[in-house]
Chain A
Amino acid sequence: MLVLTQTPRRAGSGAARDRLDLSYPAGSRVVIAAAPWSAPTVHVLSEGLHSAGGPVLSYDGERVYFVGKIGVESDWQVYEARVGGGHQRMVTSMPGGAAAPALLPDGSVAFASPVPRLGHPGATVPQPQLYAQLPGGQPRRLTFGTSGVADPTVLPDGRILFVSATPSGSAASPRGLSLFTINNDGTEITGFACQHDPPAVIGRPRLLPDGRVAFLASGLESAMAEDSAECVRTARPFLSRTNLLPGLKARVRSVGPDGEGGLLVCAENLQSAWTVYRVGRNEEALGAPLMPEDASWNCVEAVAARASQRPMGRISSMDSTKKTGQILCLNANDTTYKGAETQAGAVATRVRVLAELSPGRCRSLGEVPVQEDGSFMAEVPADTPLGFEALNQEGEILRRVEPVVWVRPGENRSCTGCHAAHNRAPHNHRPLAVYADVPCLRTEPGPSQAQKTP
């Protein structure tokens, strides 16, 4: 069986006000389809909703989560329906709506909220952030960056992979989207892929059985990623980006595993109709459609309706009694920063820590000394977008990271260097910073305090 998103081939005339309206116009629905694929039987899971889409399956294969809205003016929310049938149930009630559900191993639903207005996520205020919500529980916020986030999915190791804006070196350079990960409590925000690629709109990342991560991509001018299906490898050449299906020339709306080692692809055919294809393990192009073209419906998303391996869980390392976390950098001078090669002999002696306390307003929290081995540590406010500027002896900025990272309360966040490559393990080295007093940087005005935390 497959769970499909079907959009009407003759869409209504209502204007799309947000990204989901564009993806799932009025009348869009989530259905479960069963073989024979030449004439599949279809059962609607989103009955009664104005529109719906974006289905994901629970790990036991019993339930479907999707986004839907009850009226043209209402917000999108996450709904749950049983594969076997029955009325759907609203799971979230987020102001501004919820988008792109993904399932955490503890049963929580992760989603982005609010639903971004048209344009890429960087154009929306307030920026959508990731939340997780246990059944019947309250939503807990997971991301705290300045950029919006979208399209979470959960990796087998339990990390949440999502799309957000690529940090740019200067305000003038165009900002594309790239892939990031966090743990299920929002700790360890880390760049995953595409940070160093040409700017593009990307979306809907999905891990494939062979370890590659597939996603959809379009040019920066696009509102939606659908021009091509691409992928990155996590092995060498590390994070090299390639076409997922070199033989595929059509627009694509979804790619994902079919549960049998191959892919399910929803692509547009020459007649501008969207339908679902099954692509075998070693095939590089679409063959015949899995199902015949439907005169009334486009099939834009397809998910295998079967149980899958539950990802690893994770016990949170947060301490909710704290309002700060600590950062440890092993070597601020270990960098792949593009300008570094022109700064021969330029060694960072201090690091200025920046915080974006309100949208667009960034200020310095203070400077922390860089030890002889390049390491530094600081206690910083939690759940606040943080940036860093590596300074030389003269106070000149050698390298800069805009406020894109954060620490959660009680989190100890570490990195090997500034812009260090993500495929490199640290050297076995005792950083000198652990022997020094730890500067405590605060958001409220006043001198920073140096202390060795107990």
Chain B
Amino acid sequence: MKTRVVLIRGGILVLMATVAFLGHRFGGEAHVRRRIGQQPLAKASCFYCHFVSTDRLPWAKPRPHHDSPAGLAISHDGKRLYIALDDRDEVAEADIGTRKVLRRAKVPGGPYGLALDTSGKRLFVTCRQADRLALLDTGTLKETGSLPVGMGPAAVAFCRTAAGDRLIVANSMSDDVSVISLAPLKELGRPAAGREPFAVAATSDGARAFVANRLVGLSSIKTMPASEVTVIDPATARVIRRDALESAHLSEGVGLDESRSWALTPLVKVRNMVPITQVAGGWVMSSGLAISDLKRGDVVQIPLDEANDYFADPSAVAVDAAGHRAFVASGGADVVTVVDLDRLSAWLQKANAAERKEAIYDLSLSAEFVVARIPTRRNPRSLVLSPDGATLLVAERLEDSILVVDANKLVPLGRIVLGDGGMDDPIRRGERMFTTAAYTFQHQFSCRSCHPDGHVDGLSYDFDGDGIGDNLLDNRSLQGVAGTGPFKWNGKNATLEIQCGPRFAKVLMRTDPFPPKQLRDLTTFIRSLPPPRVARNKDGKLTPSQERGRAIFYATKTPDGKEIPLSRRCVTCHAPPLYSVRLPFNIGTKGQHDSTEAFDTPHLLGVADTAPYLHDGRAQSLEELWTIYNTNDLHGVSSYMNKIQLNDLVEFLKTL
């Protein structure tokens, strides 16, 4: 039986190869020309259009799961630690004293963010993959309730207001915040946040909740990007203020120093508008902390790096109750940075307005207030302090462990072991490569610094390999990228190994390339990333608007019966199931400083979540693709569309 299967498969392969060879030799190009309605601008493979199935792609296949700690919550007596294990659909409870896991509970939907109520009897869990909030009884560790929230809830905070108890949930994929009352359990409002709200903290009096947003708002390379800290009134579910963090993003944590009325947000200070001619001197990015001063009403960004060494991907922050110290986990550097808030406050009081504004650019300034760097194992991503401030617990996400630190002496006490680290899994090993800054010059950034969770940072960059100021590039998502090669906007990199290999080391890392084995693991991880999840009706059916949009996408004629040329139909180049025929096309977007007019056709899986668009990120929204940048109908015939038809098309694209 086994031999038969092998023979059949072998036969199919031989047949396919013969067809491919003959097709290429005797009319393949003509066939492609007939299919796309124009002369192909690059050599096509039969497999670009034929035998394509998303089911066979690596991201569609089962993969090993790991005990990766996500959010943490600590009991009010400081004895118990609750750990969200999103990859296992579990929440674990551990004894901090013995450093043992006591029990685990199944919580479906990717439990990620955790918060306890005042009594410590209820644990609130955001389920990032199921768009819901789960309520657990800490006595039984059983789920007692659930409430739908926005898409991709990543974090939750509990607070007590005059109007009643509130939960604030940061919905990372729907870009909003669910404000929930507990009695009765219902969503009071869902105010808009920034892009990808990812962390939340509330003041003890319940007057304010601070939401850190991971991505910048929509921007182009010619405009200053900015993410925001959204300040919300938990009682009324209204936005009070939006603090812009200029040229800063990837904020995944927020902590409060209530003694000074500060909200602290870790950030990556990005310099995407500057041509990447070097890495030294913080030329590409650096790490910092934003201090939103509620009394002064301003925001100061301060550096966490040193002039010749960087601590990439600051992702979480915890502040002791007395406001003496802040602890920042740097996921790319495997370090927890300890900031002396008293010294920082003294420096800020002494500094004039110009010095405060320029603080983040001074790479030697951190010596004024950074008092220690605590080494961790791989990828510290969240942390929490015990209520008495004596113990710091750090989630080492890709090590499957929790580091327990004496927060006074700043020495490790031991670890809570959750799993084996998964080093026999190439995907896990690849994720370790993806998230480490150990391979970049002076450890300035990791792959994740531009591709959080393998996705986009919403920015465009100017790499100098092809000339300073030339060929600006929009950062593309790596989610769902398997099977969509060739890569790079000019389609010159046939494989991910080429894309991430020596070329990447030369233009970006400015170090030696990844060693071959590590490179294989890295690309295995990238191929395992599924496309972004999209919002669809629960029954899977399209809305009437989406249906109309679908008809437009597949249209061969305009509504007045005019034939749409084959080469200018959406589906010709964006053919399902990947919605890309993987060939470059001239869609009339060549800019003054572009060296080519032919650009790779991106796949459209999760396209709604990957703004900005076009090769240089000039289109800030899907609408702009046609309203501003398709005046010549080269990027599909769209000039006949009215506002409603365009909206319908966009609504359909959002479902892909």
Binding site for B on A (CB under 8 A): 105, 155, 157-158, 188, 190, 211, 233-238, 312-317, 326, 328, 330, 377, 412-414, 416, 422-431, 433-435, 438, 452-454
Contacts and interface: CB of A to CB of B under 8 A. Distances in A.
A434 B362 contact: no
A313 B512 contact: yes
B378 to A, nearest CB: 19
B281 interface: yes
A414 B275 CA distance: 9
A428 B277 contact: no
Contacts of A435: 469, 593
A414 B278 contact: yes
A238 B308 CA distance: 11
Contact of B513 (A157, A315, A433): A315
A430 B273 contact: yes
Contact of A424 (B362, B464, B465): B362
B120 interface: no
Contact of B275 (A236, A328, A452): A328
A157 B367 contact: no
A438 B470 CA distance: 12
A25 to B, nearest CB: 37
Contact of A425 (B281, B465, B506, B511): B281
B309 interface: yes
14 contacts: A234-B306, A234-B308, A236-B364, A315-B512, A317-B465, A412-B464, A422-B307, A423-B363, A424-B362, A426-B282, A428-B271, A434-B462, A435-B593, A454-B467
A435 B469 CA distance: 7
Given A157-B441, A235-B307, A312 B274 contact: no
Contacts of A312: 441, 511-512
Given A315-B506, A328-B468, A238 B512 contact: no
Given A235-B367, A238-B307, A413-B277, A428 B270 contact: yes
Nearest to B286: A425
- Which of A188, A313, A314, A434 has most B Cβ within 10 Å? A434
A425 B306 contact: no
Contacts of A188: 278, 280
Contacts of B464: 412
Query: Most chain-B CB neighbours within 10 Å: which of A105, A317, A424, A425?
Result: A425
Contacts of A211: 306, 308-309
Given A377-B468, A422-B307, A315 B281 contact: no
A296 B367 CA distance: 47
B584 to A, nearest CB: 18
A314 B512 contact: yes
Contacts of A155: 308
B240 interface: no
> What 4 pairs between A and B have smallest CB-CB spacing?
A425-B282, A434-B469, A313-B512, A235-B367
Contacts of A426: 271, 274, 281-283, 361
Interface string B492-534: 0000000000100111001111000000000000000000000
Q: Which of A105, A190, A234, A423 has the most CB of B within 10 A?
A: A423
Given A188-B280, A315-B505, A236 B367 contact: yes
A414 B364 contact: no
B365 A236 contact: yes
B621 interface: no
A157 to B, nearest CB: 5
Nearest to B593: A452
Which of B278, B309, B367 has the largest count of A CB atoms less than 10 A from its CB? B278
B422 to A, nearest CB: 27
A330 B274 contact: yes
Nearest to A233: B367
Given A314-B512, A328-B275, A452-B593, 14 more contacts: A105-B512, A158-B441, A233-B367, A236-B364, A312-B511, A315-B510, A317-B510, A413-B277, A414-B277, A423-B362, A428-B224, A428-B273, A434-B469, A454-B467
A158 B511 contact: yes
Contacts of B362: 423-424
B222 A424 contact: no
Given A235-B306, A424-B361, A428-B272, A412 B367 contact: no
B221 interface: yes
Nearest to A187: B278
A312 B442 CA distance: 9
B645 interface: no
A425 B364 contact: no
B595 A454 contact: yes
Nearest to A326: B468
A124 B506 CA distance: 36
A105 B441 CA distance: 14
A144 B360 CA distance: 34
Interface string B464-501: 11011110000000000000000000000000000000
A377 B368 CA distance: 36
Contacts of B275: 328, 412, 414, 431, 434
Nearest to A192: B308
A430 B465 CA distance: 17
A452 B247 CA distance: 28
A234 B468 contact: no
B271 A425 contact: yes
A383 to B, nearest CB: 18
A313 B511 contact: yes
B162 to A, nearest CB: 42
A439 B270 CA distance: 29
Contacts of B513: 315
Contacts of A314: 441, 510-512
Q: Which one of A157, A330, A377, A452 has the greatest number of beta carbons of chain B within 10 Å? A: A157
B366 interface: yes
Contact of B274 (A315, A424, A429, A453): A429
Contacts of A431: 274-275
B618 interface: no
Nearest to B223: A430
Contacts of B582: none
A110 to B, nearest CB: 17
B569 interface: no
Nearest to B501: A315
Interface in B263-297: 269-275, 277-278, 280-283, 286
Q: Which of A330, A426, A431 counts the most chain B CB atoms within 10 A?
A: A426
A429 B368 CA distance: 27
Contacts of A238: 307, 364
Contacts of B512: 105, 312-315
A189 to B, nearest CB: 11
Contact of A422 (B281, B442, B470, B593): B281
A427 B361 contact: yes
Contacts of B360: 425
Contact of A235 (B224, B269, B282, B366): B366
Contacts of B283: 414, 425-426
A431 B274 CA distance: 7
A126 B274 CA distance: 39
Contacts of A423: 307, 362-364
A373 to B, nearest CB: 12
Contacts of B246: 428
Contacts of B286: 425
A428 B222 CA distance: 10
Given A315-B511, A412-B464, A416-B281, A157 B363 contact: no
A60 B247 CA distance: 43
Interface string B27-63: 0000000000000000000000000000000000000
A218 to B, nearest CB: 26
Contact of A412 (B277, B361, B502): B277
Contacts of B442: 157
Given A158-B511, A425-B271, A434-B468, A328 B367 contact: no
A171 B65 CA distance: 68
A314 to B, nearest CB: 5
A452 B468 CA distance: 10
